[in-house]
Structure 1
């Protein structure tokens, strides 16, 4: 199974390298559209290889997706934490009730009764 994982990683890495080599042409990346450059008094533009733009867009999509899922699952995490606290409280109550039940009894009988 480990070899399949390494082979998959190698194929994925090879695909990324081939995409990078096929898209080496430099493209201008502007932070502000040309129509709005008059309002901002500057129009920063950078020449970067196309594969950097592609990989950056993929990375930005992944990060946004992870953040979106983290926010979406916040309610489920809170519910799980509430259930864990409630379970801990109930376990403590069971322990307390068992201790009250066996108070003043013989310790051996209490131990035998505690297994039920």
Structure 2
């Protein structure tokens, strides 16, 4: 798996370097149209190599996608948190029930339970069967 990841990153690096080498000419990127620039209070443009503009657009797209998915999946995180809380509560209840059932019982009930158990066969009766438990 590590080799596949390294191979993928090497291929990605080569493609990005070829893209940068092929797009070295300068481009001007404007945030505001020229007609609205006087109202925006200055010139909102930047001159840079074309590959830098491409890389910035890719990074912006990835970040926008991450934020979009984080917002879209917020209800799933809330549901997961609620279920984890419910599970912890149920585990506490099971633990309490186990401690309750393992607690010493009433002496009278313990005596009655012992009389209900079948008696062991006396030794020397010639029986080869094991004693009941």
TM-score w.r.t. the length of structure 1 is 0.83
Structure with higher helix content: 1
Could you list the runs of 4 or more consecutive aligned residues of structure 1 that deviate by over 6 angstroms after TM superposition? none
Q: Aligned-pair RMSD on alpha carbons?
A: 1.4
Larger Rg belongs to: 2
Alignment correspondent of 2:68 = 68
Displacement of 1:35 in angstroms is: 1.1
Q: Separation in 2 of the partners of 1:42 and 1:13?
A: 37
Count of residue pairs the alignment pairs up: 105
Question: Is 2:58 aligned against 1:84?
Answer: no
Structure 1: gaps of 5 or more residues: 106-116
Bigger relative contact order (CA 8 A; separation at least 6): 1
Decide which moves more: 95-104 or 45-54. 95-104
- Name the structure 1 match of 2:34: 34
**Normalization by structure 2: what TM-score?**
0.73
